[in-house]
Amino acid sequence: MTFHYLESADDPRVSDYTTLTDVHLRKLREPAEGMYIAESSRVLRRALAAGHQPRSFFLAEKWMADLDDVFQAYPDVPAFIGSAGLLEEITGFHLHRGAMAAMQRPAPVPLTDLLAGARRVAVLEDIVDHTNVGAIFRSAAALDIDAVLVSPRCGDPLYRRSVRVSMGTVFQVPWARLHHWPGDLQVLKEHGFTVAALELTPEAEDVDAVASRNVDRLALVLGTEGAGMSPETLAAVDLAVKIPMRNGVDSLNVAAASAVAFWELRARS
């Protein structure tokens, strides 16, 4: 392993890590360059365990021993070492979790492969808050959702905040981005899925009633924060399901609603 000691924040070898501010990363870096950032040694270990390939490591000197086994396993991947102050100058924030890695985005998994054998699929329509994306993945992993599909405008599951909030479960649950929305819901139907909107519509059935039918293959569509599900999507689904609200509360946060629905509508046999 060759360690590269950084002396200047302008070092072009660490351009993957420069100005990792939210807006900058979202708009420019990750989709354009096919990379994402794994932040903290725990998250980067999970990414590696999922088979993702590192482009480089980036850490303060005092964390070198902690990642020694990782460096041994990837002898050809450069590790950039710097003082805490220099790393902060490069990234634009304080790196209090020790280490980062710039990771190669894995190749997208074909939709047919994701759906083969799946019984419960979550579909996220334009969920834009990365905290919600991460929280939904965490619930999906914990509550036996076999795959997650995200609409073209949905937030990125591999965005730093999504990864962090998901506790690394974005590496665990297979997922794919859909390209035709809501047209791709038809593909789910062709694979034998009942496609249900999780939405408070006047026609929506109570979640308990739908759970009692123990649908064999169920795709559960979650609507965007604020506006909720689009009329086009509601027109494309087979049914709507609601979690009845009490005490004058309008709706649940979408991530909270996902956890309730994933559990209630789990495959029971």
Ligand X SMILES: C[S@@+](CC[C@H](N)C(=O)[O-])C[C@H]1O[C@@H](n2cnc3c(N)ncnc32)[C@H](O)[C@@H]1O
Residues forming the site for ligand X (CB under 6 A): 198-200, 222-223, 225-226, 228-229, 242-243, 245, 250-254, 257
Given the complex with ligand X, which of 28 and 245 has the nearer CB atom? 245
Mention every residue, 6+ apart, whose C-beta is less than 8 A from residue 28.
none
Given the complex with ligand X, which of 90 and 229 has the nearer CB atom? 229
Q: What is the CA radius of gyration of the chain?
A: 21
Sheet arrangement for strand 79-82 = 3-5, 79-82, 54-60, 99-104, 35-39
Given the complex with ligand X, which of 98 and 223 has the nearer CB atom? 223
Given the complex with ligand X, which of 102 and 145 has the nearer CB atom? 145
Beta carbon of residue 228, minimum distance to ligand X (angstroms, whole number): 4
Beta carbon of residue 268, minimum distance to ligand X (angstroms, whole number): 20
Beta carbon of residue 227, minimum distance to ligand X (angstroms, whole number): 6
H or E segment and range at residue 170: none
Beta carbon of residue 181, minimum distance to ligand X (angstroms, whole number): 15
Given the complex with ligand X, which of 84 and 252 has the nearer CB atom? 252
Beta carbon of residue 194, minimum distance to ligand X (angstroms, whole number): 16
Q: Considering only CA atoms, which of 116, 159, 128, 143 is closest in space to residue 222? A: 128
The amino acid at 247: N
Given the complex with ligand X, which of 66 and 206 has the nearer CB atom? 206
Given the complex with ligand X, which of 165 and 243 has the nearer CB atom? 243
Q: Considering only CA atoms, which of 117, 74, 71, 75 is closest in space to residue 217? A: 117
The rounded distance, in Å, linking the Cα atoms of 105 and 86 is 26
Helices 254-264 & 130-142, crossing angle to 10 degrees? 10
Angle at 167 between CA 145 and CA 222, to 5 degrees: 40
Beta carbon of residue 237, minimum distance to ligand X (angstroms, whole number): 11
Strand segments, DSSP code E, in the chain are: 3-5, 35-39, 54-60, 79-82, 99-104, 120-124, 147-150, 175-177, 194-198, 205-206, 218-222, 239-242
Kindly report the length of the chain.
269
Beta carbon of residue 241, minimum distance to ligand X (angstroms, whole number): 7
